[in-house]
Structure 1
Amino acid sequence: MSSAVSPLAPKSYPELPEVGGVRFATAQAGIKYAGRTDVLMMLFDAGADVAGVFTRSRCPSAAVDWCRDSLKGGRARALLVNSGNANAFTGRKGKEATELSARLAAAAAGCAPGEVFLASTGVIGEPLPAERFSGVVDRLAGAATAGSWQEAARAIMTTDTYPKAVSRRVKVGDTDVVLNGIAKGAGMIAPDMATMLSFLVTDAAISAPALQALLSGTVGDTFNAITIDGDTSTSDTVLLFATGAAGGARIESADDPRLADFKVALGDLMRELAQMIVKDGEGARKFVEITVTGAESDASARRIGFSIANSPLVKTAVAGEDANWGRIVMAVGKAGEPADRDRLAIWFGDVRVAVDGERDADYSEAAASAVMREEFIPVRVDLGLGEGRSTVWTCDLTKEYVAINGDYRS
């Protein structure tokens, strides 16, 4: 965890409201870090419906494998998260560590191991010392309260510089419900479940199949629309729990009109958490929003957007506050998507820097450079080919990113 807080961090960290039906606690288990919390346990005493989306990496962590299997039951009684060790690429030892973790958590929660969900984040390739959870989970279960979501967010941090916690209040039918979410991530962040974890909890009464449809339908334009370094983690996990504690009729279908406002709130919350992750990108000093319009399709626009967002040359130009729009042209051209050089237009903020395949006749280096000096830099590219559009978010690439990752394991 970096000692310096990102300049893009929130100015304050308000406490989130309680969510009925969930209790949690944090502890220091000494997994990797000394003198800081590194374990989070959530308890759903009456059970909760659960949905999840996970990394598309072909080298997933043992915890991801465990959650995918547990998700088949659709119900959760406990969530156990550790930071400092990803329990990924750990072979048979990794599988044994998840089984032991789940057994210990299940005994503490009074449930079956299959009702326990696990997440691990941190160093890849190091066996997880799950035996350190022995006793710790019992203390966590005994101490769990409806307490501080900010502390829960802090317990799952690795190289993050600040906790990420967001809340929404909304109606589901005639019932007032709360939706809270926490997330961690600062490096190894790219789409396909852009080492990112997020846990969302609502007191609404929504079935697991409906939750799954809501989550799967929302992740594309939120957590899968961000990139810090183009690297997809082995551990990416997003879990959405619904305790039903708010009461009201249980909703069985994601198409139920009573979920209209909840869908919007879920999208807003996930988008805010995703953007907080980008703003905490390792070494980041600039938050960049890239909007591609005029593409032949939304999918084509998205691929072009990520070609720009993942370009080291674009990202280093942003870091250097250099209005080098030629690098945008390069990234569009290399994307392998339909594009016409002579129809291309590019904006930095409100400043159009290129149009019709050449530099704008009214181009002002001073005006473009002024945009690049801001912390928030909107970039727009119009291809002039169709109606496809997409927006993705990224950050700059600085010397600090290299420093953080050069000694990450030390």
Structure 2
Amino acid sequence: MPIDLNNFINSYGLKSKMQDFQDLDHIDGVSISTICANLYSKPRDDLVMFYFRDGANYASVYTQSKIISENIKWNLSIKSKKIKSLIVNTRNANAFTGSEGYEALKDIAGELSIQLSKKQNEDEDYPKKILNNEILFGCTGTIGEKYPREKIKKNIPELIKKIKYTQNKLIWLKAALGIMTTDLKPKLAMEECKIGNEKIKIYGIAKGSGMIFPNMATTLGYIFTDADLSNNVLKKLLKKNIDTTFNAITCDGDTSTNDMVSIFSTGKVKNSIIKNINDKKIKSFDQALHSVLLNLSKRIVADGEGANKFITIKVIKSKNDKDAKKIAFSIANSNLVKTAIAGEDPNWGRVIMAIGKSGININLDKLSINFGNIKIIEKGKIFKDYNESEVANYMKDKAIDITINLNAGVKNFTAYTMDLTKNYIEINADYRS
């Protein structure tokens, strides 16, 4: 798949940093096509298709927002056991577009099924008809604008024409660029593991920079594996691992109408049959999947709109998971905490404030707080050797770790966020300009 350099560079932003990407190569059963459908005012890849020529088992988690996009409604209606295609557009969220937006997806799915069925007849020894209800949609961009049905529909032949059955690093990078909106960096991750004696690949791409507070952030995450796993096992693995990865990040405390994370299993590696996620043979895969999801999640936070600092908030020794998570996010979503960190101000009082407003009852006499390895609070009092200049120097780091020790139990939760800068305001003030 040749890469148009102008298109490549313009995939939101001349500022994109093309570095620190793992070498995703070929994964059996997945095909990728990326084109410019002119959804933006200037040329860039904005329409991406993943094609599973033999079908793929799948599972998804979606936003818990009470207002959801039309593509999420479409995806929730799909009952097929296997998916043949996932098509993702940027620039338009297809949210708050009503029946017109939904009918547009139906129309596009119909055209895509016809064109992919033709592709099956051309390329396969035993061609299969691709059905409308074997196609999933991902949409991201502005809410409330008319969905560009005709632009997308008329570009489907070009999308089909550019399908490549063999991938490499540049093709995966091109796909990751093609789903970006305000992101400055594409997000890719990979792991290799084993199920039994069989070597397995897990690849993932994601987008997200603003409107990030997943309650399942605008976050899209797509995971691909050549393992042979059932829909039920995929669903349980995804739900198990999402809480400490995509559901552990926040950039601005806003949950999107379009959040979705999906995993697709092509079954090209004939590993031993896994009937439940407690099977010891799936342990390595489980850990590798968590690693890919966490890698992508952290990349989203690091690329948060206007972000200068990556913040890790650990709440440890909590009475239960719920309390730990609520306190962690109370701190992570505090604008006062985030602006203090942006200003490199060692104002730990704002962390105290955020713990208090969480509504969780704590024993103040047991509370300890660290910034990095520096003790701030010990047993509910300012640490006897506290040195503010030492903390001020630490605040200049790009990665800030805050640890809250409740000394009330054995449960822990870690949240990830970024600082709040003037640039965040400028990006969002000019978002539709």
Matches within 5 A, 1:387-406: 387-406=410-429
Q: CA deviation at 1:374?
A: 0.5
SS, match of residue 384 in structure 1: coil
Cα shift readout 1:201-253 (whole Å, capped 9, x = no counterpart): 10111111111111111100000000000000000011100001122344343
Match of 1:60 in 2: 68
Q: Which amino acid aligns with 1:174?
A: N
1:142 aligns with 2:149: no
Q: In the alignment, does 2:124 pair up with 1:99? A: no
What amino acid does structure 2 have at the position aligned with 1:328? Answer: V
CA distance in 1, matches of 2:325, 2:107: 41
- State the one-letter code of the partner of 2:43: G
**Alpha-carbon distance in 2 for matches of 1:68, 1:254:** 24
| Counterparts of 1:288 and 1:174, CA distance in 2 | 39
Instruction: Find the partner of 1:39 among 43, 47, 57.
Output: 47
Q: In 1, distance between residues paired with 2:207 and 2:141?
A: 11
Letter in 1 for 2:388: E
**1:193-342 alignment runs, 5 A limit:** 193-342=216-365
Selected match of 1:123 from 142, 145, 149: 142
In the TM superposition, residue 2 of structure 1 has moved relative to its aligned partner by: 4.6
Q: Deviations over 1:285-326 (max 9, x none)?
A: 000000011222111001000000000000000100111100
Change (3 A) 1:367 1:11: farther
Q: Distance in 2 between matches of 1:295 and 1:198?
A: 30
Deviation for aligned residue 1:175: 1.2
Answering whether residue 356 of structure 2 is matched by residue 356 of structure 1, we say no
1:167 CA drift (Å): 1.0
Structure 1 position 393, deviation (Å): 0.3
Shift of 1:149: 0.8
CA separation of 1:211 and 1:33: change in aligned 2, threshold 3 A: farther
Please report the TM-score for the alignment, with normalisation by the length of structure 1.
0.96
The separation in 1 between residues aligned to 2:174 and 2:273, in whole angstroms, is 31
Greater displacement, 232-241 / 336-345? 336-345
CA displacement at 1:388 relative to structure 2: 2.3
2:194 partner SS: strand
Measure, in 2, the Cα distance between the counterparts of 1:127 and 1:107.
25
Partner residue in 2 for 1:79: 86
Whether the 8 Å CA contact 1:24–1:140 is kept in 2: the answer is no
Change (3 A) 1:403 1:2: farther
Deviation at 1:106, TM superposition (A): 1.6
Give the Å deviation of 1:3: 4.1
Task: Give the superposition deviation at 1:10.
Answer: 7.6
Aligned counterpart in structure 2 of residue 188 of structure 1, from 181, 206, 211: 211
Matched length? 406
Deviations 1:121-161 (A, max 9, x none): 00000011111122422222222113211111000000000
Give me the CA root mean square deviation: 1.4
How far is 1:67 from its partner? Answer: 1.0
| Higher mean C-alpha displacement, 363-372 vs 58-67 | 363-372
Task: Find the aligned partners of 2:302 and 2:41 in 1 and give their Cα distance.
Answer: 23
- 161-170 or 341-350, larger mean C-alpha shift: 341-350
CA distance in 1, matches of 2:181, 2:65: 20
- Aligned partners of 1:15 and 1:150 also within 8 Å: no
Shift of 1:281: 0.1
CA distance in 2, matches of 1:317, 1:138: 51
Residue 92 of structure 1 aligns to which amino acid in structure 2? S
CA contact (8 A) 1:295 1:338 kept: no
Amino acid in the other structure paired with 1:23: S
TM-score for both structures, normalised by structure 2: 0.91
Offset, 1:342: 2.8
Q: In 2, Cα distance between the equivalents of 1:317 and 1:10? A: 30
SS at match of 1:393: strand
Q: Distance in 2 between the 1:42 and 1:186 partners?
A: 22
Tell me the residue number matched to 1:177: 200
For 1:85, what is the secondary structure of its paired residue? coil
- Give the secondary-structure state (helix, strand or coil) at the position aligned to 1:123: coil
Alignment match of 2:182 (pick from 159, 162, 171): 159
| Post-superposition offset of 1:354 | 1.5
State the 1:264 CA deviation: 0.3
